[in-house]
């Protein structure tokens, strides 16, 4: 690809080029938790994450204390930051576990050891994925989801209710966190009128 060629504009649209604030919103604010070598819980925030298939997730990560830990334990948990935990979640992304070994205790959060993988569950996050490391190469972490556990406070009719969870997303264009919005249509239903 020739980067010297000027970008062409489309009428009524503004070009931004490929810049740091590449907007692929929404980006979930996921909290990755691991044990260190002393069984001290470590947690970090990541936003470049997604579902790879029904039982796998993928997260783009550079080198961190968390990546060192999951390399040793082969396991991690993923929780979802929500409206109630914005400040604590942001702190987990600001401060390295190498500099503050017990970030979890510093914010007053608590943990329960996962009974399914060698990683901590952060109790203050109501939805957690318990994962085993499938691979971590070239900054791409692939995890197999062994279990999803949800606090009963976010369930409706026995199912996870995102309206009760109130997850936040990262807005790279504005460098802020946003709340998840209202339901605007039903999946595999809103477009049926066009199939007739």
Residues 6+ apart with CB under 8 A from 1: none
Residue ranges in the chain whose pLDDT is less than 70: 1-3, 16, 19-23, 25
What pLDDT shows up at residue 172? 83
Q: Where are the domains of the chain?
A: 27-180
Please tell me the class of the 27-180 domain.
mainly beta
Residue among 139, 63, 66, 136 at smallest CA distance from 100: 66
pTM across the whole model:
0.89
Residues 6+ apart with CB under 8 A from 170: 25, 26, 27, 28, 29, 47, 177, 178
What pLDDT shows up at residue 79? 98
The percentage of residues in the chain with a pLDDT greater than 90, rounded to a whole number, is: 74
């Amino acid at each position: 690809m020739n980067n010297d060629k000027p970008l062409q504009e489309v009428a009524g649209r503004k070009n931004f080029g490929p810049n740091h604030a590449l907007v692929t919103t929404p980006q979930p604010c996921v909290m990755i938790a691991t044990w260190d070598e002393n069984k001290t819980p470590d947690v970090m925030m990541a936003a470049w994450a997604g579902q790879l298939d029904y039982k796998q997730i993928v997260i783009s990560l550079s080198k961190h204390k968390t990546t060192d830990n999951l390399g040793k334990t082969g396991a991690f948990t993923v929780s979802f930051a929500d409206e109630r935990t914005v400040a604590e979640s942001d702190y987990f992304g600001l401060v390295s576990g190498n500099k503050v070994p017990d970030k979890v205790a510093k914010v007053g959060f608590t943990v329960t050891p996962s009974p399914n993988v060698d990683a901590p569950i952060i109790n203050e996050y109501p939805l957690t994925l318990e994962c085993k490391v499938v691979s971590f190469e070239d900054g791409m972490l692939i995890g197999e989801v062994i279990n999803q556990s949800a606090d009963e406070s976010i369930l409706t009719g026995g199912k996870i209710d995102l309206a009760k969870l109130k997850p936040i997303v990262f807005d790279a264009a504005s460098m802020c966190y946003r709340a998840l919005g209202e339901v605007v249509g039903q999946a595999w239903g809103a477009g049926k009128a066009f199939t007739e």
